[in-house]
Amino acid sequence: MTDEVRKIVITGITRGLGRALTEKLVGMGHTVIGCGRRFEAVEAVRRALDPEPYFSVADVSDATAVQEWALDVLDRFGAPDLVINNAGVGHASLPFWEVPMEEFDAVIDTNIKGVAHVMRAFLPAMIERGSGIIVNMSSGVGQRAVENFSGYVASKHAIEGLSKAVAKDLPPGLACIPLAPGAIDTELLQRHWGEERSSQHDDPQTWASYAADYILGLTVEQSGQSLRIQTRSV
C-alpha cells in the first residue's frame, strides 16, 4: 500500500535524484529522515520544505558518523519502514588506469561501503521490529559495462551482488532490493555522457513524480530481485 504514512530514511538528499525524491516524499506527507555530507546544502533543502523535515549532516563513507546518525534517528523515530540508499558519487570519465586513485577510492568508499554502513546501522532495529524494506540504488551499469567509468561500474555491480546476498540473510518480513532508477538527466550523467545526451532524459523532478509511487509500492516478495524504474524518456 502506498497511501499509509511511512518513516523513510534516505541518504544523499542534497542534489539530483536524492533531492527530487526527498521533496516528492515530503510533499506526499511521509516522515522523511535524510542526510547529506555538507551542512549548507542540507540546510538549504530543509528550509525549502514545509513542514521542515529532520535532516542531518553525515558522510555515509564514515562508519562512525553513520552509526551516530542512526542512533539519533532510531531514538527519535524508531525503526524506519523504508531505507533508500541513494548517496553516490562518480569519477572522471577516463580509462581505468588514468582515473586518479583518490577518485576511485571515493567511489568505492561511498557507493559500496557507504551502503553497507547504512544497512548495518539500521537493519538490527528493523529486524527486531520484524518489518522493513531496504532499497539500494543501483544502475543500468550494475549489470553491464561502459567505457571510461570503471570505478562506478564496479560499485554498481557490487551493489547488485551485495543487495542480493543481504536479501538471503534477512528473516521473513524484511527485504533488500537493488533498484536501477533509469537514465535521468543528472550532473553525474552530464559529466560522463555530455549535456546533449543527458538532456534527452527526464529531469530528476519529473522522475521523482512517478518513481516515488514505484518505490513505495515495493514489497517484501521482491526482495533480492534486480528491479528497474521504466523512465518516460523516449
**Residues annotated as part of the active site:** 152
Cβ 198 vs Cβ 138: under 8 Å: no
Say how many Å lie between the first and final Cα of the chain, rounded: 29
**How many Cβ atoms sit within 10 Å of the Cβ of residue 188?**
19
Would you state the cell numbers that stand for residue 76, as one nine-digit string? 527519535
CB 8 within 8 A of CB 81: yes
159 Rama class: left (phi>0) / alpha (psi -120 to 50) / beta: alpha
What DSSP character marks residue 102?
H
CA dihedral 214, 219, 225, 227 (to 10 degrees): 0
Q: Which residues contact 171 (CB under 8 A, 6 or more apart)?
A: 127, 130
Cis peptide before 204 (omega within 30 of 0): no
Gap between the Cα atoms of 213 and 92, Å rounded: 33
